[in-house]
Chain A
Amino acid sequence: MYGYHGRVMLVDLGSRTVRWESLGEDVLRHFIGGSGLGAYLLYRYCAPNCDPLSPENPLIFATSPLVGSRLTTSSKFAVVAKSPLTGMIGDSLSSSFIATELKKTGSDAIVITGRSSSPTLLAITDDAVEFRDASSLVGMGTSETERAVKAQLGAMYRVASIGPAGENLVRFAGIANDGGRQAGRTGPGAVMGSKNLKAIAVRGHSAVSFAEPEALNDIRTDLSRRSLGDATEKYRTLGTMANVSVFNRLGALPTRNFQQSTFEGVETVSGETFQKSHHVKNAHCASCTIGCEHILTTTDNGAKTTGRMEYQSSFAMGPLVGVNDPNTVIRASALCDEMGMDTISAGGTIAWAMECFENGTLTPKDTGGADLRFGDGDALLELLEMIADRNGLGDVLAEGSRRAAETLGRGSDEWAMHVKGLEMPGYEPRSLKTMALALSVSTRGACHNRSSAYEADFSNRVDRLSVDEERGRIAMEGEDYSAVMDSLTWCKFLRKAFDDFYGESSIIYEHLTGWPTTPDDLKLAGERINNLKKLFNIREGWTREDDTLPPRVLNEELQTGIVKGIGLTRPDLDMMIDGYYQARGWTEEGLVPEGKLEELQLVDLVSQHRANRNAAPALR
């Protein structure tokens, strides 16, 4: 077999056993790798309706046929598990050297189940798996853990680890690798923590062969050249932080828990300011010629902090919580990385708490005397520590905004800004209507990355301020395209370098694997993967009511900027959702009909699990 190893490693932490199962050509062609292969393995190995923090929830690391090819931006992997935030499918992508090393261990994916009785470091060297005591690593931050593991095993090992947040089962904890890259969203770090698994270290020597290495060499050169042109200019100059001032001008920058969509303090936390006054250097993931990572440093008299920054972190630690001090934004983002927490969910949950405090729903008695006001950078930093340690109010916030609002009550769910339990990213849905639809229907909750629907809103393809049924088709096409990207594991920032994404990717897939592949094969795989993710959610208790947006978005009009007075009504959202289900060929209730299962060749996989569908009530 070319491009793949054709097998998955299954590790049981409870019994400390390891076995391998083969992955056939059909499975690999149907689900490709990364996010798609991870979804397949989750559907197969996750006990229906299990508690996401139970030993039965598999934690899956999946690579792709592109990994190891050294094609630009290809060194990526997906982490997939049932999400402790949403109770539905959770998948998150990260990148760099560990992806290549994971694949060189001789498997296309690793599925980890069970729970270790004590803190464990899983050391995988090719086929040899060691369950090492990790007691000495407990309490360490993610970069500290990585350094300590390398000191133990050798610098050539690549490490994925959790910080205190994952150990303490913060539901939005992430998994860090390669000096700070994060599989951040949907809480995979909490799943890892629930297994008493502090870190995974990998080292391998089994590189796969590719079917047409010489053709791939030529493509590598050409694609690298294209990756340095106009198509990636933004990522190489200001990075995604360039969004801040643009979104603000367009009334699409969520501010103070989505109470406004413009931020008066935008200048000091804009990409332009970060670039001018805080930029140290750009960095690259492994096998990447773009180098979008912006390393920033603080410039005030406080403790010197240096860390990565991108748009979502600068939004979540800045405008979302009303903070306009760039040094605080850098510190807060670096703190999240070190504690191992998703910045978007951390910021979203803290923004909810700040609003609760300002409107009197939370009192100083609830906060231990702390003043939780928007714009208070010290309060932000303190709360992040409290969440990671599950200390005081931090224990409630560590559950994410949906559960925190359920615990507090007092109507605070009205301003808990999440979809299906996952906190909203930095895109104001009322002024980006295609994005509004995509956020509401995404299988992983309020996710901007699995549809790229913002592309339509930031173009003349649609009127971003109005709605129509056609948005359904646009969102669907964006989701299927993203599924192929995330399964081949291209970096999304390379997307504009392709003249014909499906055409070029199908040729590359063919050169990698030797399997004849058409653009339509890949398109169908994208559709199949999204349908399978949906089928997983249905199995776990999803209903149409879950495809919605926070009450604030549907009940309040925007108050500032050029979008003042713009809102989104429930009937308008429903109309777009109907259009989306129709485009997908689903029923009015959003269910996947038998005919669609047949068309996507999913019948066998689904029927194997159907008997279990009603086995137990869903735990979310």
Chain B
Amino acid sequence: MTYARKAPTLVTVSVELFGNARLLAGRSLLRLNVADDCALKDIAEAIGRLHPNLVGTVVREDLTGFLDSYIVNLNGVEFIDDQHQRLIEGDSLLVFSSLAGG
């Protein structure tokens, strides 16, 4: 018997931008087609390529993730810091400031 890793499939996820990220991008919602086993860094890179003015302000300069001042929440429920988060079709990623409170 041979074991084969399931090939990644493409899923469409939403990215909801809040705060300064929204103002800089000029929009609140992005849709991305990404592999279902993609990591957060892949999402960050996709966002950075789509909106270069978010690079250095929301996404790290080298596109390897989000800046510490931003946090990512999956579907409004779970905060993610895992660089390899499995996503499913229709997921929403909320990107907002990691500075809570006020």
Which residues of chain A are near B18, meaning CB under 8 Å? 242, 245-246, 249, 272
In the complex, the chain A residue whose C-beta lies closest to that of B22 is: A272
Known contacts being A238-B20, A242-B19, A245-B18, is A233 close to B76, with CB within 8 Å? no
Distance from B31 Cβ to chain A, minimum over Cβ atoms (Å): 17
Interface size for A (C-beta < 8 A) is: 38
Q: For the complex, give the distance between the alpha carbons of A231 and B71 in Å.
A: 12
CB within 8 Å of B: which A327-384 residues: none
Which residues of chain A are near B69, meaning CB under 8 Å? 230-231, 233-234
Interface of chain A: mostly helix, strand, loop or mixed: helix
| Complex interface: stretch among A19-27, A123-131, A457-465, A512-520 | A457-465
Which residues of chain A are near B16, meaning CB under 8 Å? 249
Interface readout for A228-251 with B: 1 if CB under 8 Å, 0 if not?
001111110111101101100111
Tell me if B94 and A249 are in contact (CB < 8 A): yes
Which residues of chain B are near A233, meaning CB under 8 Å? 20, 67, 69, 97, 99
Distance from B68 Cβ to chain A, minimum over Cβ atoms (Å): 5
Query: Can you list 11 pairs linking A and B with CB atoms under 8 Å apart?
Result: A234-B19, A234-B97, A242-B19, A242-B20, A250-B73, A275-B23, A310-B102, A454-B101, A455-B101, A457-B100, A459-B100
Q: For the complex, give the distance between the alpha carbons of A232 and B102 in Å.
A: 12
CB < 8 Å: which of A240, A243, A251, A460 contacts B76?
A: A251
Q: For the complex, give the distance between the alpha carbons of A460 and B79 in Å.
A: 5
Which residues of chain B are near A492, meaning CB under 8 Å? 101
| Interface flag for A311 (CB, 8 Å) | yes
| Interface flag for B1 (CB, 8 Å) | no
In the complex, the chain B residue whose C-beta lies closest to that of A495 is: B99
Which residues of chain A are near B20, meaning CB under 8 Å? 233-234, 237-238, 242
| Interface flag for B80 (CB, 8 Å) | yes
Which residues of chain B are near A457, meaning CB under 8 Å? 100
In the complex, the chain B residue whose C-beta lies closest to that of A457 is: B100
Tell me if B78 and A460 are in contact (CB < 8 A): yes
Tell me if B102 and A460 are in contact (CB < 8 A): no
Interface size for B (C-beta < 8 A) is: 27
Known contacts being A234-B69, A250-B73, A458-B71, is A240 close to B101, with CB within 8 Å? yes
Interface of chain B: mostly helix, strand, loop or mixed: loop
| Interface flag for A448 (CB, 8 Å) | yes
Tell me if B101 and A276 are in contact (CB < 8 A): no
| Interface flag for B91 (CB, 8 Å) | no
CB < 8 Å: which of A243, A249, A275 contacts B102?
A: A243
CB < 8 Å: which of B67, B77, B99 contacts A562?
A: B77
Sample of 8 further A-B pairs with CB below 8 A, known A233-B99, A493-B99: A232-B99, A240-B101, A245-B19, A246-B96, A250-B73, A311-B102, A465-B77, A562-B77
Tell me if A454 and B100 are in contact (CB < 8 A): yes
Distance from A495 Cβ to chain B, minimum over Cβ atoms (Å): 9
Which residues of chain B are near A249, meaning CB under 8 Å? 16, 18, 76, 94
Tell me if A230 and B67 are in contact (CB < 8 A): yes
CB < 8 Å: which of A235, A271, A310, A448 contacts B99?
A: A235
In the complex, the chain A residue whose C-beta lies closest to that of B82 is: A460
CB < 8 Å: which of B75, B81, B101 contacts A448?
A: B101
Q: For the complex, give the distance between the alpha carbons of A152 and B100 in Å.
A: 43
Give 8 nearest A-B pairs by CB, closest first: A240-B102, A458-B100, A230-B69, A234-B97, A237-B20, A460-B79, A242-B19, A233-B69
Q: For the complex, give the distance between the alpha carbons of A540 and B81 in Å.
A: 45
Which residues of chain A are near B102, meaning CB under 8 Å? 235, 239-240, 243, 310-312
